[in-house]
């Protein structure tokens, strides 16, 4: 049985996916959530094999959520769902660890097959998303030999604050988050940028035009 969890803030879509999954003999609905707050606790309680993650949700967006899930539970497969084809969102989700990327409006049959395909080792994408991925990769490496760097929206906010010269405490106050959260974001930024200090991060951010 494939255990599936849903993170979708639209009530009708959430319910539709739940009913679709529950109608399958080889799938089990592990949990359906309207937001991604406390996402790791929700994952621990429901123990899904596959997560269907909406990108645009309040408080904690899907890109931040997939990054958290894959850091703590790398074995869990996450399929992003969105109505948008924004380049930054596509790559942020993929770099965050998403295993698939399907547009909302995909037929139930194709969505169910995409879930099964992921569990067989595939990485299903809607055709126009797949074409976009190929196009951006081709142009990325044609025009820039630097590695592709993708930061989450929250990480970009924190990096912008570093560029502005703010301390950890000032960043926490400005973004209304805890000092510990800021520290975690900065560790992730250092890892993605392959740097070890704030000045290095600022220099690389400006050099690579990340903001």
Tokens 């990485």 belong to residue: 123
Higher pLDDT, 50 or 142: 50
Instruction: Over range 134-152, report the average pLDDT.
Output: 63
Q: Say which CATH architecture domain 153-207 belongs to.
A: Orthogonal Bundle (1.10)
For 46-101, the pLDDT digits (tens) are: 999 999 999 888 888 898 899 999 989 999 999 998 876 666 677 777 778 888 88
- What are the structure tokens assigned to 153, written together? 């929206």
SS3 20: helix
Q: Rounded to whole angstroms, how far apart are CA atoms 51 and 23?
A: 17
Residue 17: the pLDDT is 93
Burial-class residue 197 by CB neighbours within 10 Å (0-12, 13-18, 19+): exposed
Q: Do the bridges between strand 50-54 and strand 2-7 make them parallel or antiparallel, or are there none, so unpaired?
A: parallel
Instruction: Tell me the C-alpha distance between 184 and 89, whole Å.
Output: 21
pLDDT at 84: 65
For 26, the token pair is 């080889």
Residues of the chain with CATH 1.10.10.10: 153-207
Decide if 49 contacts 77 (C-beta within 8 A). yes
Domain with CATH 3.40.50.2300 in the chain: 2-141
The pLDDT confidence band at residue 104, using thresholds 50, 70 and 90, is confident
* Architecture of the domain delimited by 2-141: 3-Layer(aba) Sandwich (3.40)
What average pLDDT does the segment 36-52 reach?
Answer: 96
């Amino acid at each position: 049985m494939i255990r599936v969890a849903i993170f979708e803030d639209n009530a009708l879509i959430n319910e539709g996916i739940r009913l679709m999954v529950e109608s399958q003999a080889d799938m089990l609905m592990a949990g359906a959530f309207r937001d991604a707050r406390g996402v790791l606790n929700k994952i621990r309680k429901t123990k899904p094999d596959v997560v269907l993650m909406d990108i645009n949700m309040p408080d904690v967006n899907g890109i931040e959520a997939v990054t958290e899930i894959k850091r703590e539970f790398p074995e869990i497969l996450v399929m992003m769902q969105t109505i948008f084809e924004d380049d930054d969102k596509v790559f942020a989700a993929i770099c965050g660890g998403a295993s698939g990327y399907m547009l909302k409006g995909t037929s139930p049959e194709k969505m169910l097959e995409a879930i099964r395909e992921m569990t067989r080792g595939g990485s299903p994408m809607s055709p126009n998303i797949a074409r976009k991925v190929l196009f951006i990769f081709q142009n990325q490496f044609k025009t820039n030999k630097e590695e592709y760097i993708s930061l989450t929206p929250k990480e970009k906010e924190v990096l912008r604050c570093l560029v502005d010269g703010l301390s950890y405490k000032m960043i926490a106050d400005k973004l209304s988050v805890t000092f510990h959260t800021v520290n975690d974001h900065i560790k992730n930024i250092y890892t993605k940028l392959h740097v070890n200090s704030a000045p290095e991060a600022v220099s690389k951010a400006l050099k690579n035009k990340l903001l």
